[in-house]
A and B are shown apart, each in its own frame.
Chain A
Amino acid sequence: MNKIKVSVLLALLVFAFLLDVALGSIHIPFKAVLGILISPDTADTTWLYIIQQIRLPKALTAVVVGCGLSVSGLQMQTLFRNPLAGPSVLGITAGASLGVALVMLSAGTITSLYSIKELGISGSWLIILASSIGAAMVMLLVVTISSSLKDNVIVLIVGVMIGNITFSIISIWQYFSAPELIKDYLIWTFGSLGGVTGDQLLILTIVVIIGTAISFVSSKLLDALLLGDNYARSMGVTVKRARLLIIGSTSILAGGITAFCGPIGFIGIAVPHLTRALFNTSNHRILIPGCCLVGTLLMLVCDIVAQLPGSQTVLPINVITALVGSPVVIWIIVGRNKLKGF
């Protein structure tokens, strides 16, 4: 049964990937796209450039981002035993944003110049580093506070509040920054799958592979945590260590992705629920790869929609994911309510 589902998903995924590559503001016939993908040498150079340098990296970024966000969302929902948890809800994205704001809004100032010149840390590394540290700091703060709390609803509120505090710090910083720098930062917050090419794509891919691998290794821990901390402990889980591992991989995933593509919401919340409904299981050994598949597919679909097929305009990706993700979240909450009424 699962094999059929995976095959169908894979087929849809390949189709969505090709469609994503084929669509864009410049019309390239589908046959030509296939031709370029199969034998690049014989193609028109302009088209070849567009496909190889712009569309292919963007589609690959969508794949990587879809995977990473979904897996980190799944981990958060299990760790906090809250169906509405996700990397953005608990302030991780806010933390990453603070890290990026720190680099972007202080561009040209002593901190970033020093790191770039003296330490040899160049642009993308600096951003990914700042973003990951920002994400990890906020996440650690949330977990430290939550370790003394029993109620998961309160944990969620604490996460949201810490996110709010972080965003207001960014706002204060923006208030005192130069307009050009603010504009750079604002554009970054719209989220974008484009512009991640070459080395950057390689770095992002490695980061997501590492994060997902850690998550997959801890799938047994995640299963045990479904029953709550006390039961997990009674089964031999060292809960603090497990938390650190899960927080670590979530920070790597959410922090890394946010650094390269900006904050991309709702995928992390919606995909785990879709995957659970689709595979009808709570086993993380199945859910994690499942989330990768469903997340990738949904991200590609969002990217296709964002290009508004047939038009020249491209909408920010963050707008589309919210547009697609929010109805899913509503559908889940309503469905859950019905289940309780049984």
Chain B
Amino acid sequence: MEQLKTTAEAERKLLLQTTGLSIGYKQGRNNLKEVATGLNLEMFAGEVICLLGPNGCGKSTLLRTIAGLQETVLGTVEIEGTELGQLKPALLAKKISMVLTDNVRSGDLDVYSLIALGRYPHSGWLGRLTTEDKSVIDQAILSTATGEFVDRKLATLSDGESQKVMLARAIAQDTPIIILDEPTAHLDLPSRIQLMRLLHRLAKDTKKAILISTHELDLALQVADQIWLMQAGGHMATGLPEELVLNGSFAEAFNKDGIMFDPATGSFNMHASGVKSIAVNGDGTAAFWTRKALLRKGFHISGAQKESLAVTVLENAGQPRWTLEKDRKITTYHTLRDFLKNVNLIEPT
């Protein structure tokens, strides 16, 4: 067992490492504002890392510092063993590519030209593309499924399409590390899932290390091999997503007034826990959604059988039925709406 673990560790190729890193930004002329200190972070090949944290806690500053767009305050960032400051800009561009939140407004740019710009660090002084460049670009287009709109102008793309195009550009840059700053911010749910799945597959297939800052907690829990959880004040917790759920880091980071992180479901409860208690018996989809509905109505769900109020959800040939038991009085409802209307009328005991 021990041996197995060490070989597995050895196979994880360390691409980026920060040691005692302090990050910050200039505010005014001489005023340096530190947002986080003493960061020891590691990025391995083939891993997706999600950087989570509330707005304004310094996620972008961290990304920009790691990528060399911003000076480090203290400590070091090493990329494949070389310190960031020792890497010439042209060489650094072959190590890290980025997808930023910057709005690219150049409406005359067509999609293919934009993706081809990813070859910038590799192409000659005039930027002429070789056959090798072209095949890398084609590969990037293929893996992001952007082929159907390569001829369109940037200005005509939807947010989801343009985010995929920016990712294709980063892939064409052909770097071991890709950093994305809130890539899912303006996307609808299907596009968000699509993009996250794409990033996950990309990391596995190409052995790239992909660092994503995001607010999508549930998606991050699903795709991340590692989570960097940042809190206002610069405190950073890192580890497997499940570790962070179990050791309470998530609850600590996100619990605010009336919002509770529920480790049992990995999601947030936005409804304050109610005064009325009800036991919900039964499993399956109908029971699951009944619990959700009751939570919304302000009920506290308890698993205990001894509650004076209990509902049993039974599914019969796809037809759910709600059996409400109150003080041994039993009523059966055939629709959820009906059940909720009646259960709501019950005064708290």
Asked if A285 contacts B126 (CB within 8 A), the reply is: yes
A219–B113 CA distance with the chains assembled, in angstroms: 14
Q: Chain A's nearest CB lies how many Å from the CB of B274?
A: 47
List of A residues within 8 angstroms of B91 by Cβ: 236
Q: Chain A's nearest CB lies how many Å from the CB of B62?
A: 15
List of A residues within 8 angstroms of B117 by Cβ: 223-224, 226-227, 235
Interface residues in A, total, Cβ within 8 A: 26
- Selected contact of A236 from candidates B93, B107, B155, CB within 8 Å: B93
| Interface-located stretch among A165-173, A178-186, A334-342 | A334-342
Beyond A228-B102, A230-B100, is A237–B113 a contact (Cβ under 8 Å)? no
Interface CB pairs A-B, < 8 A, 7: A220-B125, A226-B106, A226-B109, A281-B113, A282-B109, A282-B110, A339-B107
A234–B169 CA distance with the chains assembled, in angstroms: 12
Asked if B89 contacts A285 (CB within 8 A), the reply is: no
- Seed contacts A235-B97, A236-B92, A236-B121; 9 additional CB < 8 Å A-B pairs: A81-B106, A220-B120, A220-B126, A223-B120, A227-B114, A234-B93, A236-B91, A236-B94, A285-B128
Asked if B89 contacts A237 (CB within 8 A), the reply is: yes
Q: Chain B's nearest CB lies how many Å from the CB of A340?
A: 7
Asked if A236 contacts B104 (CB within 8 A), the reply is: no
The answer to the question of B189 belonging to the interface, with a C-beta cut-off of 8 Å to chain A, is no
List of A residues within 8 angstroms of B155 by Cβ: 339-340, 342
List of A residues within 8 angstroms of B126 by Cβ: 219-220, 285
Asked if A220 contacts B92 (CB within 8 A), the reply is: no
The answer to the question of A276 belonging to the interface, with a C-beta cut-off of 8 Å to chain B, is yes
The answer to the question of A238 belonging to the interface, with a C-beta cut-off of 8 Å to chain B, is yes
The answer to the question of B1 belonging to the interface, with a C-beta cut-off of 8 Å to chain A, is no
Docked complex: A205-220 residues within 8 A CB-CB of B: 217, 219-220
List of B residues within 8 angstroms of A238 by Cβ: 89
Q: Chain B's nearest CB lies how many Å from the CB of A128?
A: 29
A235–B94 CA distance with the chains assembled, in angstroms: 8
Q: By DSSP majority rule, is chain B's interface helix, strand, loop, or mixed?
A: loop
A89–B156 CA distance with the chains assembled, in angstroms: 29
A236–B110 CA distance with the chains assembled, in angstroms: 22
Docked complex: B86-108 residues within 8 A CB-CB of A: 89-94, 96-98, 100, 102, 104-108
List of A residues within 8 angstroms of B173 by Cβ: 235
Q: Chain B's nearest CB lies how many Å from the CB of A188?
A: 35
List of B residues within 8 angstroms of A228 by Cβ: 102, 104
Asked if B109 contacts A234 (CB within 8 A), the reply is: no
Closest 5 CB pairs of A and B: A236-B93, A220-B127, A235-B120, A234-B98, A236-B90
Q: Chain A's nearest CB lies how many Å from the CB of B235?
A: 27
Chain A contact residues, CB within 8 Å of chain B: 81, 217, 219-220, 223-224, 226-228, 230-231, 233-238, 276, 281-283, 285, 336, 339-340, 342
A227–B156 CA distance with the chains assembled, in angstroms: 16
List of B residues within 8 angstroms of A283 by Cβ: 113
List of B residues within 8 angstroms of A276 by Cβ: 108
Per-residue 0/1 for B123-158: is the Cβ within 8 Å of any A Cβ (1 yes, 0 no)?
A: 101111000000000000000000000000001100
A233–B110 CA distance with the chains assembled, in angstroms: 21
A227–B114 CA distance with the chains assembled, in angstroms: 8
List of B residues within 8 angstroms of A237 by Cβ: 89, 120
List of B residues within 8 angstroms of A231 by Cβ: 98, 100, 102, 104
Beyond A234-B69, A238-B89, is A81–B120 a contact (Cβ under 8 Å)? no
Asked if B69 contacts A282 (CB within 8 A), the reply is: no
Asked if A227 contacts B93 (CB within 8 A), the reply is: no
A294–B105 CA distance with the chains assembled, in angstroms: 25
Asked if B97 contacts A234 (CB within 8 A), the reply is: yes
Q: Chain B's nearest CB lies how many Å from the CB of A339?
A: 6
Q: Chain B's nearest CB lies how many Å from the CB of A289?
A: 12
Beyond A235-B93, A235-B120, is A282–B105 a contact (Cβ under 8 Å)? no
Q: Chain B's nearest CB lies how many Å from the CB of A99?
A: 32
List of B residues within 8 angstroms of A233 by Cβ: 69, 89
The answer to the question of B227 belonging to the interface, with a C-beta cut-off of 8 Å to chain A, is no
Looking at A235, A236, A282, A339, the one whose CB has the most chain B CB atoms below 10 A away is A235
